[in-house]
Each structure stands twice: as structure tokens, then as C-alpha cells.
Amino acid sequence: MKAMASRFAAVRPSHALFFVTYLAQGVQRIGKDYLRQESSSALGGDPRALQLFYNLLPEFGSLPWTLKPLLMLGAERFLGARGRCCLAALCALLCAAVWCCVAQRWGVSGSAFLLCTALVSLSSAVVDGLIDGRVAEESFDADSAASCRYLCEVGQITGGLLLGAAAWLLSLGSWEALFMTSASWLAVVPCILASMPKKGKQLVVDPADDKPDADSPKKGESLSGLKSMANRSVALVSAFAFTACLSPSLDFFLFRQHVLLLSASQQSLVSVAGSCGWFLGTSVYRHKIAPGRPAHAALRACLLLWPCGALASVAVALLAKPGPSGFWLAIAQHALAEFCKAMTFMPSTVLMQLHAARGCEGTAFTLMQWSGTIGQVLSRNLEYAFMAYFSVQPGLGSTGFEGFVFVAAASALWRLVTALLLHISISPGLEREAKLQAVVNRVHYFPMVNSTNNNINSTKR
């Protein structure tokens, strides 16, 4: 009991904040599925309105998330650490309020439906950017970066499993699921306030860093830190994120709804399976791929597994039919797709954390992540272009998905070509930059050691 108590006492408030924030994001992934389930009726089946709705969803790659770099730059330039904590708490509170509003007033008009979706996405994006800045501050090397990211993903899978399992077992309606999503974001607020540094304290205690006072804005540091990001390594990480996210991920939600005729609770179970696949992917990276390897070498191993999900999606789009077999195929497809998606998310995020300039971690991280966000926005609209080209029309029901297998095949081909391109171009570039940085570190290290020895000898004399 004493050992367990000491272990809990050793947990930093910031680590609890990371876990609870990502737990709320995991719950929101299930709440987002309830929004999707009702989007066709709420928007009258209008294809353009549906496309706008999917671009506003609270997830990585949505239009509101493209504003994150500007928001983080403003927050770190004009707000101190305590001010940024207050901003994160206010945005988490706003996110909870909007989810509660949607839960209580279901059946709102199309414009109000889109507005609520945009507000949820924007407020959660601000919280995500500020918390990711805190995560980057505590990422001192590849191992600590992977550990912090793994903690966040454990929180996300926990939230997704809790609400997803409850939705399937209890057949939760929209009101209950959306209210639980609101409550999860409300729980983030006290965690942010509890981790707020006292006046004159630092957010992260690291002997290697000279941090400013927690209440002082990072005006000078934010600009100098951004200037230090103008290097080849950051450009390669951003290029990797953009190219990987540009590959269409092929959302099967509408296919499951109109072709396999899955209910909202069944869709929740599929989301739980996807969360399990995602968690398995992050665990494989953390415990099997990352240990003992540089980040660029782990990336190269992940690229070999990444296209498998897209190839399996072609088979499911071709073979799946309504009924129990189609239901289990949908579960397997989503789990494998999320597993493979984690194979690019984990190494790219770890690289972003490692290359986030000290003093402006939130801005630096979101700027690199922004390249992936732009790629994801283009990818989602590219997927809709594929659907339009192959005459996939969700408004016609199952008959409107006769060309969906061709969309899946085109997406799989794109994924294969992208993986090959990343393997022969970006990965070797990151390896060269890592070797160059190691040489630079040794050059700076030896003079420091010599000067230290000279000081010691002079003291002895």
C-alpha cells in the first residue's frame, strides 16, 4: 500500500492533466459519431452541407484546427503560463457548454447545427494546442517524448472505451451520449486549474533550461524560437506530416450506415474497435518499435506497416454485406485502419515534440502539426472528389455506393505510392540531419568538458 501511495504521489499534476484532457478527446470521438449519425437528417441530405459539416468536425484536419498556429502564437506572445492555463480552462468550459446545448436542443436547424459543430471544434483545438505545448515542454529526448505521447494516447483510448462500451451495452441515445461528452470536457477545467503554476514558478523543472517566470509572456522567446525553426529538420518533419495526411484515409462511416445498415449503437462499437486498434498501434510503437531506435529509424519501420489498412479496406468494400458478417468485417476494417494510422501519427508526433523550439513549444508544435492539418483538409476533400468521380451518392442509400470499391482502390493506390515516396525521400533526409546534429553536439560538448576540467584544475591549484 505504501508503494502504491508513493507511486500516486509521484504523479505530476501536468501528467494528470494530459491524461484527463485526452480522455475527454476520446469521449468526444464517440460523441462525434452521434453527430455524424444525425447529420444527414439535420442537414437535409445536402451533399455540400455534408461536406462542410465533415470539414468542421472536432478532429485533426478540420477547418477550425487550421487556425491553431495563429492562436498558439498569440497565446504564447501575449500570455504568460498562468494566462494560457486560464485560456485553456475557458475554452474547455465553452466546449462543454456547446456539447450540452446540442444535447438539450437536438433537432436544431442546419445553420445552428453547423455553428455548434464549428464552436466545439474551435474550442477543443485551442485546448489541444495549449496542452500539446505542455507535452512538448516535458519532451527532453526521444524516450520522454514517446512516454508523454503514450500517456496521452492511453487517456484517449480510455475515454473512447468508456463511452463506446456504455453506448453499445446500454443503447444510449443522442442526449445521453452528448451529455457525457459535455461532462468529460467539464472535468478538464479543474485539472487545468490544479496544474496552474504559482507566481514565480516554472511549468517544467529542467536543469538544462533557463525558463522565464511563469507569469511573463514569451514575447522575445516566441519570435527567436520561431526563427530557430527555420532549419532543414523542421522542414522535413512538416513535409512528412503533410504528405502522410494528404493520403485519403477513406471514412467508412457512411458506407456502414447506408450499405451495412448499422445503428448508432453498433457504430459506437465499431468506434471502440477503432480505438482498440489505435491503442494497439501506439503500444506497438512505444514498446516494440521505438525502444533502442532513433526516431527516424522507427519511422522507417512504421512506413512498412502503414499501407496494410488501405489494402484491407478494398477487400471490405468489395465483400461486406448487411448482416452479422458485414458487421464483424466493419469492426475488423476500422481496427486495422486505426492501427495503421497510428504507424504514422506516433513517429511524426514524437519528431514534432523533439523539434519544438524551447520557449515557444505550443506555437512550434502546432506550426509543424499545421502542415498535417492542411494535408488532412485536402485529403478529406480529395476523398469527396473521388466519391463524386465514381458516382457515390449517400442520398440514394445503398444503391448510391456501387462505386465505393473504386474509391477504396484509388485511396489504396495513393497510400502505396505515398509510403514509397516517404521511404525514399523524407526518411533518409531525417537520418542525415540526425547524424549531422550528433556531430554538432559532440563539437559543442568537448570544449565544454575541457573548460570544466581547466576550471577544476585551477581551483585545485
Average pLDDT over residues 297-307: 88
pLDDT for 10 equals 44
Looking at per-residue pLDDT, the higher value among 229 and 37 belongs to 37
Over residues 182-194, the pLDDT tens digits come to: 999 999 999 998 8
User: Which residues, other chains included, contact 311 with Cβ-Cβ below 8 Å and sequence gap of 6+?
Assistant: 412, 416
Over residues 65-83, the pLDDT tens digits come to: 778 778 887 887 888 888 8
The answer to whether residue 440 scores a pLDDT higher than 70 is no
Average pLDDT over residues 251-275: 84
**% of the chain surpassing 70 pLDDT:** 78
Is pTM beyond 0.85 here? Answer: no
Residue 71, C-alpha cell as written in the block: 492562436
Looking at per-residue pLDDT, the higher value among 107 and 376 belongs to 376
DSSP for 118-163, please give it. HHHHHHHHHHHHHHHHHHHHT--SHHHHHHHHHHHHHHHHHHHHHH
Residue 286, C-alpha cell as written in the block: 512505444
Residue 237, C-alpha cell as written in the block: 518533419
| From 6-10, 268-272, 303-307, 434-438, the region with the lowest mean pLDDT | 6-10
pLDDT for 201 equals 53
Question: How many other C-beta atoms lie within 10 A of the C-beta of residue 204?
Answer: 18
| From 105-109, 202-206, 314-318, 426-430, the region with the lowest mean pLDDT | 202-206
pLDDT for 110 equals 74
User: Which residues, other chains included, contact 448 with Cβ-Cβ below 8 Å and sequence gap of 6+?
Assistant: none
DSSP for 157-219, please give it. HHHHHHHHHHHHHHT--HHHHHHHHHHHHHHHHHHHHHTPPPTT--SS--TT--PPPTTS--H
Which amino acid, 434? A
Looking at per-residue pLDDT, the higher value among 222 and 365 belongs to 365
- Quick one: pLDDT band at residue 208, thresholds 50, 70, 90? very low
Q: Angle 300-302-304 (CA atoms, 0-180°, nearest 5)?
A: 80
Question: How many other C-beta atoms lie within 10 A of the C-beta of residue 147?
Answer: 16
What is the chain's percent helix, strand, coil content, to nearest 5?
Answer: 80, 0, 20
Q: How far is CA 392 from CA 11, 47, 51, 132, 445, in A?
A: 50, 11, 13, 37, 60
The answer to whether residue 329 scores a pLDDT higher than 90 is yes
| From 44-58, 209-223, 356-370, the region with the lowest mean pLDDT | 209-223
Q: Classify domain 12-194+229-454 at the CATH class level.
A: mainly alpha
The answer to whether residue 363 scores a pLDDT higher than 70 is no
Angle between helix 68-78 and 361-389 (nearest 10): 170
